[in-house]
């Protein structure tokens, strides 16, 4: 059965939205997602722009552990090169203790040059730093102690107060060496469809699978997490605003690849990019709109890509909090039951 997660980016979708509002909506969404039967909630990490108000997914997981009881809480992702791994070892142990073992640990190298520049960390070292930090995480969480002599970190023999074992692991990013390591560790690779349809995402899935096969993975279906942008509404005007919000998200996400993103204070500018789709194309090809349309496209994702994990994000619309939560409730009530049906081809219409 596919695992269904709610993704929380906590972006500031417009200048009037405050960080407190974005974070509060995420907490309310996680509570509702638990009621609706979601398996997990993800929390992003970004720095220094309106792309996200969340600088620490582990802090968000710890907070939401106190207001939920069942739902898994995931870091989507800890950008490990931006943190000392020994501190991450301790914080992972704390969140596991506070949540009753519900943490899911997503790791990534990061990719935004301005973040690394501000922290004084060479962007070119991020893959090596993740690999070395991963070694430290495994040692500390599995054995309760760390002693490490490496290129980036030197740690004398140090006991760890809360060894908890490695939580379920997820890896974001397409580096082949890291994907091979993920396969060896039993981690689930995470990819984003972005604005692509399921068939257009197949080459990315194939590349991930090839790296995992090269690491010796022989399972018929390699674990794979897929992220999708979703918004459920019967209101045509709301759907169009959500499509425009998704285009804004695509523009700002692309701008974060620049050495210095164009921004006013922390607020990213919405810069059009070559070949970008319009709202009409998104309304036809993205899971935005009535439940039947959303269910059909997500079912196609599942049939074509065969993910073991689906991460669904709807906080991009720019609509008021009440409308975002209403869209989440519709997703949970009218779409998720169809997605959860066993077999390679889930039902194309939502449950009654």
Confidence at 347, pLDDT banded by 50, 70, 90: very low
Q: How confident is the model at residue 352 (pLDDT cuts 50, 70, 90)?
A: very low
Cα 13 from Cα 6, distance rounded (Å): 18
Chain-centroid distance of CA 56 in Å reads 13
Indicate whether 348 belongs to any domain.
no
Q: Residue 136 is part of which domain span?
A: 3-339
Closest by CA position to 87, among listed 162, 172, 165, 151:
162
Task: Tokens for 258, please give them.
Answer: 């620049």
Query: What are the tens digits of pLDDT across the range 47-93?
Result: 999 999 999 999 999 999 999 999 999 999 999 999 999 999 999 99
The answer to whether residues 335 and 29 touch, using CB atoms and an 8 Å cutoff, is no
In a domain, 209, yes or no: yes
> Is 350 within the bounds of a domain?
no
Which H or E element spans position 312? strand 309-313
Position 219 scores a pLDDT of 77
* CATH code, domain with 106: 3.20.20.30
DSSP-derived 3-state class of residue 348:
coil
Number of structural domains found in the chain: 1
Q: What is the DSSP string of 241-276?
A: HHHHHHHHHHHHHHHTTSSS--EETTEEP----TT-
| pLDDT surpassing 50 at residue 112 | yes
pLDDT at 217: 85
Residue 311 has pLDDT above 60, yes or no: yes
Confidence of residue 345 (pLDDT cuts 50, 70, 90): very low
Q: For position 348, what pLDDT does the model report?
A: 34
Round to whole Å and give the CA distance between 158 and 140: 9
pLDDT at 201: 97
What value does the mean pLDDT of the chain take? 94
**What is the C-alpha separation between 186 and 206, in angstroms, rounded?**
18
Q: What secondary structure, in 3-state letters, does 24-45 show?
A: HHHHHHHHHHHHHCCCEEEECC
What's the angle, vertex CA 98, arms to CA 93 and CA 104, rounded to 5?
A: 60
Rounded to the nearest 5 degrees, what angle is found at the Cα of 280, between the Cα atoms of 276 and 284?
105
Structure confidence by residue, pLDDT tens digits, 223-250: 999 999 999 999 999 999 999 999 999 9
Whether 141 is in a domain gets the answer yes
Residue 179 lies in a domain: yes
The reported pTM is 0.94
CA distance 316 to 309: 21
Whether residue 113 lies inside any domain: the answer is yes
**Structural contact between residues 50 and 263, judged by C-beta atoms closer than 8 angstroms:** yes
Strands 231-232 and 169-172: unpaired
Residue 253 confidence (pLDDT) above 90: yes
Residue 154 confidence (pLDDT): 98
Q: Kindly state whether residue 272 falls inside one of the protein's structural domains.
A: yes
Tell me the per-residue pLDDT of 148-165, one tens digit each, with 9 for 90 and over.
999 999 999 999 999 899
pLDDT value of position 220: 78
């Amino acid at each position: 059965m596919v695992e269904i997660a709610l993704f929380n980016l906590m972006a500031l979708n417009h200048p009037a939205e405050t960080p407190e509002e974005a974070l509060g909506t995420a907490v309310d969404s996680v509570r509702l997602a638990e009621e609706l039967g979601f398996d997990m909630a993800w929390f992003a990490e970004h720095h220094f722009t309106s792309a996200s108000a969340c600088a620490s997914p582990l802090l968000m997981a710890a907070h939401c552990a106190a207001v939920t009881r069942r739902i898994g809480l995931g870091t989507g992702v800890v950008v490990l090169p931006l943190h000392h791994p020994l501190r991450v070892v301790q914080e992972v142990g704390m969140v596991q203790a506070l949540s009753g073992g519900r943490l899911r640990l997503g790791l990534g190298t990061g990719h935004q040059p301005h973040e690394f520049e501000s922290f004084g960390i060479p962007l070119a070292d991020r893959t090596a730093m993740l690999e070395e930090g991963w070694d430290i995480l495994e040692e500390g969480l599995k054995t309760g102690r760390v002693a490490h002599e490496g290129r980036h970190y030197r740690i004398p023999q140090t006991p760890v107060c809360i060894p908890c074992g490695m939580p379920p692991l997820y890896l974001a990013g397409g580096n082949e060496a890291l994907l091979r390591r993920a396969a060896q560790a039993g981690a689930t690779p995470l990819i984003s469809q972005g604005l692509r349809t399921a068939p257009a995402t197949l080459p990315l899935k194939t590349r991930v699978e090839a790296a995992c096969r090269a690491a010796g993975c022989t399972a018929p279906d390699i674990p794979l997490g897929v992220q999708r942008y979703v918004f459920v509404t019967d209101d045509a005007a709301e759907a169009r605003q959500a499509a425009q919000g998704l285009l804004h998200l695509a523009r700002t996400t692309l701008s974060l690849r620049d050495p210095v993103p164009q921004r006013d204070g922390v607020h990213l500018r919405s810069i059009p990019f070559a070949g970008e789709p319009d709202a009409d194309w998104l309304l036809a090809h993205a899971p935005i709109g009535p439940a039947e349309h959303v269910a059909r496209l997500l079912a196609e994702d599942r049939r074509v890509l065969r993910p073991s994990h689906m991460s669904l994000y709807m906080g991009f619309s720019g609509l008021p909090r009440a409308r975002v939560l209403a869209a989440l409730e519709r997703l949970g009530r009218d779409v998720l039951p169809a997605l959860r049906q066993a077999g390679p081809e889930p039902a194309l219409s939502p449950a009654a």
